Amino acid sequence: MTSGQADTRAGLMRSTPLRSAPLRRAGRPWTATLLRGLLFLILGLFVLYFTLPLFVMIVTSLKSLEEIRQGSLLGLPQEIELTSWATAWGSACIGVSCHGLRPYFWNSILLVVPAVVISTAIGAINGYALSKWRFPGSDVIFGLMLFGCFVPFQVILLPMAITLGKIGMAGSVSGLILVHVVYGIGFTTLFFRNYYVAVPDELVKAAKIDGAGFLAIFTQIFLPLSIPVMVVTVIWQFTNIWNDFLFGVSFSQGGSQPITVALNNIVNSTTGVKEYNVDMAAAIIAALPTLLVYVVAGKYFIRGLTAGSVKG
Amino acid sequence: MPVLQSRNLYKDFGAVEVLKDINLSIEAGEFLVLVGPSGCGKSTLLNIVAGLETASAGDILIDGQIVNDVAPKDRDIAMVFQSYALYPTMTVEKNITFGMRVRNVPRREREEALQRVAKLLHIEHLLRRKPSQLSGGQRQRVAMGRALVRRPKLFLFDEPLSNLDAKLRAQMRGEIKQLHKRLGATIVYVTHDQTEAMSLATRIAVMSDGKIVQLGAPQDLYDRPNSIFVADFIGSPAMNFISGRIQARDAKPVFVADHDGAPLALPVDHYDFGGDFGGGVEGDLRDGQELILGIRPEYVTSGAANHHGAVSVDFELVPSLMETNGFDQHIVFEFCGAELVGRFSSKESVEVGRPHRVHLDLSEISLFHAESKVRL
Ligand SMILES: Nc1ncnc2c1ncn2[C@@H]1O[C@H](COP(=O)(O)OP(=O)(O)OP(=O)(O)O)[C@@H](O)[C@H]1O
Ligand SMILES: [Mg+2]
């Protein structure tokens, strides 16, 4: 009896909002459209705001110096000229040598690839050990690594310079690689540890009983699981190391400098006329690899950042 | 020689004592089931036996050898985990043969073992699939397969069926029992499930708070629980408990239930007091000492049926709740200030609120000390 009454009462309550719904819907068409329009307008403005600099760079890099001097900043080039790109890549003068960015581009590749690979590999092992092979003090170690992520570049410049000098790696590419690896380990460890924490401990236990040891479990069970977090880490490290200027300018010299330092030297060269088109082309060339990485692996990046657990 | 022994085993995690003086001895071919409430240390015990955790004190012996410092892989054991712990990126085949590949078992031997197990567990058609493409029951079989390829001395199962639905669980239970029979394997098996424990075990160990409180054959535990804890834990619906006191009447012991109205006397002179009760009330028992009488629901039946010979009493009781499960019905009565659950045939017509004649068969009761909760 009582439950029946409750049912009818609930039914009555349910019917009230239903009746008022059409009223609200009647007011919908124009306000909703207006709001939607406003939303798109704002989004559109943001798109403009972010793409305008890129647009200006591309457009400027395709113009001749003559045209840059006369025309407006936003105007399309009357005649597309690729000579500034060729100059930036192959013959722009950096200091006394005039070989363009090309040698420095390769410098950066030679620097970034090992630095990314090594820091990612160490981060993976660290994350695995700190999440699945805990030992007394492992949490403290992880805490310190986490802390390392928040240490600004500038703070470690001096101690790092001294250290590099002491171990005889000052001014060398391997020294710069070491700097990036050391600085990056905090982040890579954090990424991998947080990813592996979500992997059930019983997987490790089962593998131990199956007879696998520390490394076999890592390579055969954990690494195959790690593709998403690996992508995230690689993108993160690649972008940071490729774009780094401060370490590059501080710890490398002469011909072994990375592309960011070379770009700075091209743009800031004081001799002769300022070649804006070459500067722009050079800047775009320097940024291309990171852009490419995002375009190729961007969707994994988002997925990897949001992916929490591993399903069995 | 026992396959597995644990001697004075202790384990603590910092301040928490999880295992306290565990002594066990398991012979070849035994199926020992560990039961106990959540957090009582069952998984910890299994992990120590497997070598995945180290004990704080005490020894684990496998085949008479102390293995405290032996790595899990060298203990010749296999373990099935509650969550199955299948390697997610490997196919079923790779999952099952992982251990053999790690141990560099030759390919032909691996192949043979795989086929044997696949056939045994009916998973031949699943070998190329990844764990994520399997149903719960299939995963469970694969987990079992990973243990069975090895022919170890000892199998450890940690609640392997708890993730399955009731029907599948019953089916897998049957299959595990079959496997045990066919392989003659020695098994230690953790479960929360009554039916699983009763039907699979050759012996059951009931654990509570890090201790083994009773160890024995399933029927023994059921008929003669050594404490209220075990009595309450084993059997579903649980045993009924009636508090009261023991008294001597005409040199015969009777149990007088705590009752608001007239004293309610139940004859208990057939009970095996083990010398405690000699003619009068003497020995360890004082006249009027408080006791608790336990009676299983299946001994609380309808008074309408015919009964012969048993020591029994009949009461007129009012049902307050009933639960039907097709085969029989569980009726809850109000009795001496507590609930009394009876197991009635489903043919019996019982109505909530209408007094019913209830028959208490006292031939299989248990008596416990009210204070220590220990069986007399
Ligand atoms: N690594 C650990 N650190 C601290 N305490 C732990 C740890 N592992 C287990 N415990 C504690 O030990 C006790 C026993 O845990 P255990 O997992 O053995 O229980 P269980 O009997 O298997 O329970 P369940 O039936 O829920 O699986 C629990 O109180 C638990 O909190
Ligand atoms: Mg457990």
Pairwise CA distance, residues B41 & B207, whole Å: 8
Percent of all residues in chain B with a pLDDT value above 70, rounded to a whole number = 95
Mean pLDDT of chain B: 88
Does this chain's domain B4-233 share its CATH topology with B240-369? Answer: no
Measure CA A197 to chain center. 23
Instruction: Check whether B281 has a pLDDT greater than 50.
Output: no
Average pLDDT over residues A52-73: 87
Among the partner residues B77, B87, B90, nearest to A209 by beta-carbon distance: B77
Query: Which pLDDT tens digit goes with each residue over B96-107?
Result: 999 999 999 999
Instruction: Check whether A259 has a pLDDT greater than 80.
Output: yes
Structure-model confidence comparison of residues B178 and A95, the more confident one: B178
Instruction: Check whether A13 has a pLDDT greater than 70.
Output: no
Contact between residue B313 and residue B296 where contact means Cβ atoms under 8 Å apart? no
Residue A4 pLDDT grade (very low, low, confident, very high; cuts 50, 70, 90): very low
- Please tell me the predicted confidence (pLDDT) of residue A303: 67
- Please tell me the predicted confidence (pLDDT) of residue A242: 95
Contact B146 A224 (CB under 8 A): no
Instruction: Check whether B221 has a pLDDT greater than 80.
Output: yes
Query: Which pLDDT tens digit goes with each residue over B324-365?
Result: 888 888 999 988 878 899 998 888 888 888 888 888 888 888
Query: Which pLDDT tens digit goes with each residue over B150-169?
Result: 889 999 999 988 877 888 88
Buried b (16+ CB within 10 A) or exposed e, A163-193: bbeeeebbeebebbbbbbbbbbbbbbbbbbb
CA of B57 to the centre of ligand 2 (A): 21
CA of B163 to the centre of ligand 2 (A): 13
- Please tell me the predicted confidence (pLDDT) of residue B5: 93
Query: Which pLDDT tens digit goes with each residue over B163-191?
Result: 778 888 888 888 889 889 988 899 999 99
- Please tell me the predicted confidence (pLDDT) of residue B304: 62
- Please tell me the predicted confidence (pLDDT) of residue B350: 85
Tell me the CATH number for domain B4-233.
3.40.50.300
Contact A312 B73 (CB under 8 A): no
Structure-model confidence comparison of residues B162 and A176, the more confident one: A176
Q: Which fold has domain B240-369?
A: OB fold (Dihydrolipoamide Acetyltransferase, E2P) (2.40.50)
Average pLDDT over residues B35-52: 93
Residue B256 pLDDT grade (very low, low, confident, very high; cuts 50, 70, 90): confident
Most confident of A167-171, B119-123, B185-189, B242-246: B185-189
Residue B120 pLDDT grade (very low, low, confident, very high; cuts 50, 70, 90): confident
- Please tell me the predicted confidence (pLDDT) of residue A12: 39
- Could you tell me if A307 lies within 8 Å of chain B, comparing CB atoms? no
The residues that bridge with B4 in the sheet, in sequence order, are B26, B62
Q: Could you tell me the maximum CA-CA distance found in chain B, to the nearest angstrom?
A: 80
Q: Which fold has domain A102-309?
A: MetI-like fold (1.10.3720)
- Please tell me the predicted confidence (pLDDT) of residue B264: 81
Pairwise CA distance, residues A173 & A111, whole Å: 7
List all residues whose CB is within 6 A of at least one atom of ligand 1: B 13, 16, 18, 36, 38-44
State both tokens at A116.
């990314």
Contact between residue B341 and residue B353 where contact means Cβ atoms under 8 Å apart? no
H/E segment holding residue B33: strand B31-35
State both tokens at B112.
């043979």
Query: Which pLDDT tens digit goes with each residue over A128-147?
Result: 999 999 999 999 999 999 99
* Domain residue extents for chain B: 4-233, 240-369
- Please tell me the predicted confidence (pLDDT) of residue A172: 86
Buried b (16+ CB within 10 A) or exposed e, B323-357: eeeeebbbbbbebbeeebbbbbeeeeebeeeeebe
Mean pLDDT of chain A: 85
- Please tell me the predicted confidence (pLDDT) of residue A2: 40
Which residues of B fall within a CB distance of 8 Å from A200? Answer: 83, 85
Among the partner residues B51, B85, B139, nearest to A206 by beta-carbon distance: B85
- Please tell me the predicted confidence (pLDDT) of residue B273: 77
- Please tell me the predicted confidence (pLDDT) of residue B276: 56
* Best residue for ligand 1 mutational test, from B10, B11, B16, B192 (most atoms within 8 Å of Cβ): B16
State both tokens at A254.
């002469």
Pairwise CA distance, residues B231 & B366, whole Å: 9
Percent of all residues in chain B with a pLDDT value above 90, rounded to a whole number = 52
With a cut of 0.85, is the ipTM above it?
no
Query: Which pLDDT tens digit goes with each residue over A290-311?
Result: 989 888 887 776 666 555 434 4
Instruction: Check whether A14 has a pLDDT greater than 90.
Output: no
Q: Which residues have C-beta within 8 Å of that of residue B76, sequence separation ≥ 6?
A: B62, B152, B153, B154
Instruction: Check whether B47 has a pLDDT greater than 70.
Output: yes
Global pTM reads: 0.80
Q: How far is A197 from chain B (nearest CA, A)?
A: 15
- Please tell me the predicted confidence (pLDDT) of residue A90: 86
Strand B264-267 relative to strand B290-295, pairing:
unpaired
Q: Which of A107-116, B25-34, B148-157 has the lowest mean pLDDT?
A: B148-157
- Please tell me the predicted confidence (pLDDT) of residue A312: 37
- Please tell me the predicted confidence (pLDDT) of residue A7: 41
Which of B135, B39, B46, B130 has the alpha carbon at shortest distance from B90? Answer: B130
Contact between residue B63 and residue B69 where contact means Cβ atoms under 8 Å apart? no
Instruction: Check whether B112 has a pLDDT greater than 70.
Output: yes
Instruction: Check whether A28 has a pLDDT greater than 70.
Output: no
Instruction: Check whether A8 has a pLDDT greater than 50.
Output: no
Q: Which residue of B has its CA nearest to A227?
A: B89
* Domain residue extents for chain A: 3-81, 102-309
- Please tell me the predicted confidence (pLDDT) of residue B363: 86
Which of B312, B318, B287 has the alpha carbon at shortest distance from B362? Answer: B312
Find residues 219-258 of chain A whose CB sits inside 8 Å of chain B.
220-221, 224-225
Residue B136 pLDDT grade (very low, low, confident, very high; cuts 50, 70, 90): confident
Contact B89 A208 (CB under 8 A): no
Which residues of A fall within a CB distance of 8 Å from B85? Answer: 200, 202-203, 205-206, 312
Query: Please, which residues have CB less than 5 A from ligand 2, an ion?
Result: B 43
Instruction: Check whether A223 has a pLDDT greater than 70.
Output: yes
Contact between residue B244 and residue B369 where contact means Cβ atoms under 8 Å apart? no
